Chain A
């Protein structure tokens, strides 16, 4: 019963997305939209992929990763090498961007996720910086002056990659595997005690998240004429982190909405990068005061259409850090 019902909602949202796709495609082909708007739409799609991929790591699995731009960079450079240096077709470049980023995720994830605690935050922060410095010093990819990339990213590619990302992460989350990840977020010790291989699921979520950050990187690289290490600094990681936090940790639709809103805000503030950071900070502070759970809390958009029920309040005692 519930499966049937959710399937109905699922096909409805697919239908709506296809209509949205067709409208935008029509507007682009008919040249009703100027380049500025088209570019903003592309960035929205790419940022949604980034937001949702980090949402799986932080919002669902509860692993604090703060170097997501590092995987974006790895994907961007890997795909640019495949398309520009090796001259292979664009779809292959997109996939390679994802795969190489996933391998990087595996290499960073296995050692740092085996331990409990904040090792991942430290490792990913370092990774983001190291990646940038490495690309800065490799002449093969142009060093500081960057790597020339053809403009191959088109609206259909952005749309297809975005939809695949949303579907894969939604399907993963709504399964026993997603529940295993959420149980780690909720209480790692209890998850362990329930027979969940916590290290395995932390790594899986991290690698899937890295893969899609790499896919976003491929689209990102081929949306410019040149990519440079300076595109992928800590501020970029911070941007992605904000989507997830602002959207409400644990809500995929929240991450999507935040990515759309903040892409619009930042596009209009493009020429004032300092102002942008100030506005972001103010936004975050206001949010922390009035809505500490984020735009959506842990809820999804669909839940607003369902009736609310609740039982009388339970105990307040949580946040026990010892194993008792």
Chain B
């Protein structure tokens, strides 16, 4: 027994869509600073699990707590403000906004200037906006995205869009970062850069990361621990070495390409 509560505690959580139990009876605990993988065949319920954690779906069973505080039935924006932020499997940037404005949206909840101060352009508006702008520029430099600052997000090359989405999620200042297949659609070189980026993030930000990924080399290479989901249920958990040799995992992946 430790006195520390885990950062994230998912207790027997699940959700049912009509007759389909997309996720059921899932128990997950993440400690601060861990980088944990979540793998499983297509349709296993991984993305749905992220949607439960972020409040997009309300669990039909079980509970989810962050730092010991229950998150049940809270709106997604409140959960983000409490410290869980995410990227999406299919990139969801604000395409018509510039790269820097994408990041500024993530800073919005910290803005001190009110709607009235912006409408009447009182000094508070200018100082608030300037502060946001400077912070966002510095932030983009960390990710080497400052050179694209004023481009529309939709005009970035694919790999850079993935990068920007991760940057935007981090700008929301999360304690727990959820990455949903960040390497999907990337070429080997971009995947390599992504791995470097994830390493950099862990070093720079005081973070816990939960990573969904299909690229086994990436998962096995960077994760401390791995959870395996199949048909909505956890079938295994452990270190990369343990997972690699787990007969249940090998069975679940039969017929799928194991790379």
Q: Is the CB of B106 within 8 A of A194?
A: yes
Q: B residues within 8 A CB of A182? A: 94, 96-97, 101
Residue numbers in A under 8 Å from B96 (CB-CB): 182, 186, 250, 298
Nearest B residue to A182, CB-CB: B97
Interface set, chain A 151-201, CB cutoff 8 A to B: 168, 171-172, 175-180, 182-183, 186-187, 189-198
Q: A172-B115, A176-B132 are in contact. Are A314 and B47 (CB under 8 A)?
A: no
| B118 close to A193 (CB less than 8 A) | no
Nearest Cβ in chain A — how far from B28, in angstroms?
20
Indicate if B130 sits at the interface (CB-CB under 8 A): yes
**A198 lies within 8 A of B88 (CB):** no
CA distance A320 to B88 in the complex (A): 11
How far, in whole Å, are A190 and B157 apart by their CA atoms in the complex?
Answer: 20
Which of B54, B109, B115, B185 has most chain A Cβ within 10 Å? B115
**Segment at the B interface, from A123-131, A135-143, A305-313:** A305-313
| B113 in contact with A176 (CB, 8 Å) | yes
- A250 to chain B: which residues have CB within 8 Å? 96
Query: What CA separation (Å) do A189 and B86 show in the bound complex?
Result: 11
Contact B56 A323 (CB under 8 A): yes
Q: Looking across the interface, which residue of chain A has its beta carbon closest to that of B98?
A: A179
Q: How many residues of B contact A (CB 8 A)?
A: 54
Q: Is residue A274 within 8 Å, beta carbon to beta carbon, of the partner chain?
A: no
B130 lies within 8 A of A3 (CB): yes
Q: Interface stretch among B29-37, B73-81, B234-242?
A: B73-81
Q: Is A204 an interface residue (CB 8 A)?
A: yes
* Bound complex: CA A310 to CA B154 (Å): 11
- Given the known inter-chain contacts A186-B94, A186-B96, A320-B90, please indicate yes or no for A193 contacting B156, CB distance below 8 A: no
How many A residues face the partner with a CB closer than 8 A? 39
A315 at the interface (CB under 8 A from B): yes
Is B11 located at the chain interface by the 8 A CB criterion?
A: no
User: Chain B CB within 10 Å — which of A179, A204, A298 has the most?
Assistant: A179
Find chain B residues with CB under 8 A from A311 CB: 148, 151, 155-157
Q: Is the CB of A176 within 8 A of B104?
A: yes
B115 engages A314 (CB within 8 Å): no
B118, A171: Cβ atoms under 8 Å? yes
The answer to whether the Cβ of B161 comes within 8 Å of any Cβ in the partner chain is yes
A177 to B92, CA, bound (A): 20
Given A192-B77, A314-B157: A324 touches B89 (CB 8 Å cut-off): yes
Residues of B within 8 A of A (CB): 47, 51, 54, 56, 75-77, 80-81, 85-86, 88-97, 101, 104-109, 111, 113, 115, 118-121, 125-126, 128-130, 132, 148, 151, 154-158, 161, 168-169, 172, 180, 185
Nearest 9 Cβ contacts at the A-B interface: A175-B118, A186-B94, A190-B92, A195-B80, A195-B109, A192-B76, A320-B90, A324-B89, A183-B105
Q: List 27 A-B contacts (CB under 8 A).
A: A3-B126, A171-B118, A176-B107, A176-B111, A177-B115, A180-B105, A183-B94, A186-B96, A189-B56, A189-B88, A190-B92, A192-B56, A192-B75, A193-B54, A193-B76, A194-B77, A194-B106, A194-B168, A196-B77, A196-B108, A310-B151, A311-B155, A314-B154, A315-B91, A323-B51, A323-B88, A324-B47
